[in-house]
């Protein structure tokens, strides 16, 4: 049985801790004792780091099907097990759709892809607002009925503008920020407001060609494959935990413009996968890398 993505009567539990015997049994027995049915489970152990990771999708209906479990009861039981094993736990109820803000500049392909996938039901979330440092993409926001906010950024105004952006994000109760080719480097105050909750798309196969103009860098090196990388943004530019990557073949006949054109297809698919996996509770971060469950 697989975990239904859009079923409001299910939930996902992500757990991680130092590896030791009995962890799988403790989590499964916890849900069994509450009368809950496990629908899907996966686990991974990093033997070198001595770390254990587990993802469980389960039904919130008690075994007799008469009622849904009380959320406070469920959270309390999980807390007791987490404290016993020094475990980090993240419970996500599927009925609670994440509220996602998209940050953009002037390039529209990743923005369009996210909005179209959302419209078709591939991304289960809400997009309350789009934030940009330019007005260029506002017609797209209007087309999809989403509020569009422009915060022009200069070196002198960056801190004040980011403070306004953070206030807006909090006002709209944003859970996740997606940088859909937002060509700005976020400051420490934004990272601290949304730690490991900012997903960026970089138009190269990291760690190759970090920083600006990666397609021009790739052309200059005569590479035969170009790629894109979706990662959590951190203070270290283009070095955050990687969620997803992909590549496409290029040749000596391709110009820098050809690389940009081909790369856009990879960028949009890599970003959408990373966002979907985050929303579905498939990603765990540790040691500046990730475990991404199938």
Catalytic residues: 238
Distance of alpha carbon 94 from its chain centroid, rounded? 16
Backbone angles phi, psi at 104, to 5 degrees: -140, 165
Residue ranges of the alpha helices (H) in the chain?
Answer: 23-33, 71-84, 109-119, 138-143, 158-171, 188-193, 214-221, 256-279
Helix axes 256-279, 109-119, angle to 10 degrees: 40
- Report the alpha-carbon distance of residue 163 to residue 184 in Å, rounded: 15
| Tokens coding 9 | 């009567």
For residue 68, give the DSSP letter: B
State whether the Cα torsion 261-266-269-275 is positive or negative.
negative
Please return the burial class of 134, using the count of CB atoms within 10 Å of its CB with bins 0-12, 13-18 and 19+.
Answer: middle
- Do the strands 125-132 and 289-292 form a parallel or antiparallel pair, or are they unpaired? unpaired
């Amino acid at each position: 049985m697989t975990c239904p993505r859009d079923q409001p009567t299910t939930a996902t539990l992500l757990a991680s801790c130092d590896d030791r015997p009995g962890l799988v049994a403790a989590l499964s027995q916890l849900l069994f004792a509450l009368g809950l049915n496990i629908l899907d489970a996966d686990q991974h152990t990093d033997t070198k780091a001595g770390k254990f990771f587990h993802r469980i999708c389960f039904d919130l209906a008690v075994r007799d099907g008469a009622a849904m479990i009380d959320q406070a009861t469920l959270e309390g039981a999980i807390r007791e097990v987490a404290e016993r094993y020094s475990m980090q736990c993240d419970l996500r109820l599927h009925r609670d759709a994440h509220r996602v803000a998209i940050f953009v500049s002037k390039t529209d392909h990743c923005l369009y892809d996210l909005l179209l996938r959302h419209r078709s039901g591939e991304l289960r979330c809400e997009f309350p607002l789009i934030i940009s440092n330019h007005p260029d993409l506002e017609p797209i926001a209007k087309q999809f009925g989403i509020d569009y906010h422009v915060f022009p950024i200069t070196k002198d105004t960056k801190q004040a503008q980011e403070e306004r952006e953070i206030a807006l994000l909090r006002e709209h109760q944003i859970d996740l920020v997606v940088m859909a080719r937002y060509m700005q480097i976020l400051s420490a105050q934004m990272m601290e407001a949304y730690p490991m909750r900012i997903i960026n798309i970089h138009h190269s196969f990291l760690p190759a060609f970090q920083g600006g103009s990666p397609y021009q860098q790739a052309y200059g090196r005569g590479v035969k494959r170009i790629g894109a990388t979706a990662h959590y943004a951190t203070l270290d530019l283009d070095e955050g935990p990687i969620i997803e990557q992909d590549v496409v073949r290029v040749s000596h006949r391709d110009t820098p413009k050809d690389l940009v054109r081909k790369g856009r297809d990879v960028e949009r698919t890599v970003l959408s996968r990373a966002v979907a996996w985050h929303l579905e509770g498939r990603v765990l971060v540790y040691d500046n890398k990730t475990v991404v469950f199938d």
